[in-house]
Structure 1
Amino acid sequence: MKQLVLVIGSLYGGLAVILGAFGAHAFKKILPAEKLISFETGVKYQMYHALLLIAIGLFLEFQTSLEKSAAWSIILGTFIFSTSIYLLSFADHWGVNLKWLGPITPLGGLLMIVGWFLLAFYFLKRN
């Protein structure tokens, strides 16, 4: 689990840099300002949680279900949150109706929040 968290954190971080660069350059030409701001929000949250995953991957042992649940909540929440924002940002450009993703995005956010609170609970229980 430790290696998986570190690999996913690294991949999320690398993808955030790539997508951030595209957002700052290529996507500026094709996305309206409000869609670009949403896209950048997805990139920021992906990077924040990539760094969190690397930190917990380095410092936790993932021997308890609490540690594993926190990591999976962050992994899945980040994927759902950021990916849905990316897709919604491009929906008009692609000419597709992805409005059904609107309610999905907050579920990803909720999973990220759950992951943070599970970490807090883990740290409180540890001592």
Structure 2
Amino acid sequence: MSEEAPAPAPAPAKAAKKKTTASKPKKVGPSVGELIVKAVAASKERSGVSTAALKKALAAGGYDVDKNKARVKTAIKSLVAKGTLVQTKGTGASGSFKMNKKATERKSVILKYSLEVYFLTS
């Protein structure tokens, strides 16, 4: 007289969902630092280029400066720290900046040396 309830049917196994992380597409084109270096190098100002003028030049080149303010600041600071730019006025990311003559001379010497080595070895 023992009535046993039938065992419940096992639930159908669900396929494990793959987590698809929608990776953002990589930006094509030069980095902010490269754009800044180009803008400063193109300037013929003796005392350097101000931050405001740099931002205007970037905006004229199609870069969204309002959206990427922090990126522009950090790029300027890192270029000064690397020695690519020299800060003539101001502190931090404000003031005026110009190309470092020593850095450009060093790069040209390195390039000249590497070309000599390339042609000698080939």
With normalisation by structure 2, the TM-score equals 0.29
Of structures 1 and 2, the one scoring higher in RCO (CA 8 A, sep 6+) is 1
Greater strand proportion: 2
Greater helix proportion: 1
- Structure whose CA Rg is larger: 2
